[in-house]
Amino acid sequence: MIKVIAEIGINHNGSLDIAKKLIDAAVFAGCDYVKFQKRNPELSTPENQKNKIKDSLWGPIKYIDYKHKLEFSKKQYDIINNYCLKKKIKWFFSVWDTDSVDFAKSYSSFMKIPSALILNLDLIKYARKQSSFLAISTGMSSEIEVKKAIKSANPEVIFHTNSSYPSPLNEINLNYINWLKFNYKKKEIGYSGHEKGYFPTLCSVAMGVTWIERHITLDKKMIGSDHASSLDVSDFIKMVKKIKDIESFLGENGPRKISLSENLKRQTLR
């Protein structure tokens, strides 16, 4: 059965109210998980980016200040944790630094290493020690880099992704899923999509992935780096419905069996 992750990420724009609405949407759509991103901005923001000015909901501000404004506090994540428990949906983090690993493990033993951190082998090894279920994304990486990261992480799930936001359709390269399935037969393979729409995501389901991750937003026109490549609530609900439809008609891998409807027809034609 395919597991679907609704990535809220930073699309809450620092608002608990928006976060709760996105959790509600994920529950209504039938998702298995919601995911947030956890950072210590002082550790995870590149030094050459910290003082750059960025247009934001709060006006033009330093990039480091923008990152701080997007981080929920422990008290706010306690509220989110209780809300997810109430709504009966599981949740976890993508972790961007070792401080965030320590923070994340108090809520879930499931963590994900984002594509941006795939070269940080120290972070990967630390997250592996602190989690019982680890996922990793492969975006922006060469095959050599992917192999090193997988060796360090020994992840339960490997996500194929193109890390452009949004991803050009001719660069998604879904056939890499087949490569991962062939070379990592003992691992679960997923697809984390950033394309406009969700047709490639549905194609990945037919190719045999067992995990799907997509960003969710209340409005793709909202200010923020991830909204434009996210799915709005309506499209997210449609996508999950189609994923379940594909699962139902893919059926089982094995010798051919006569279906119930065929058996009835068989009685009249044979």
CA distance 128 to 189: 18
Q: What are phi and psi for residue 60, nearest 5 degrees?
A: -70, 120
CA 193 to chain centroid, in Å, comes to: 8
What residues form DSSP beta bridges with 109? Answer: none
Q: Name the band, by pLDDT with cuts 50, 70 and 90, for residue 58.
A: confident
Of 35, 41, 36, 100, nearest in space to 69 by CA: 41
State both tokens at 43.
């550790």
Phi-psi sector, 45: left (phi>0), alpha (psi -120 to 50), beta:
beta
Between CA 23 and CA 152 the distance in angstroms is: 32
Q: How many domains does the chain have?
A: 1
Q: Which residue has the tokens 């991750």?
A: 213
Enclosing domain of residue 159: 3-269
Write down the pTM of the prediction: 0.93
Mean pLDDT, the chain, integer: 94
pLDDT grade, residue 63 (50/70/90)? confident
Give me the pLDDT at residue 243, please: 97
- Give the whole-angstrom CA distance, residue 103 versus residue 40: 10
pLDDT at 160: 98
- The per-residue pLDDT for 258 is 87
| H helices present in 11-62, as ranges | 16-29, 41-44
Instruction: Kindly indicate the confidence band of residue 222, based on its pLDDT and cuts at 50, 70 and 90.
Output: confident
Check pLDDT > 90 for residue 54.
Answer: no
Phi/psi at 95 (nearest 5 deg)? -110, 135
pLDDT at 265 over 90: no
Contact 71, 37 (CB under 8 A): no
Residues 159, 266: Cα–Cα separation, whole Å: 43
8-state DSSP, 251: -
**CATH number of the domain enclosing 40:** 3.20.20.70
Of 113, 135, 118, 92, the C-alpha closest to 6 is: 92
User: Is 224's pLDDT higher than 80?
Assistant: no
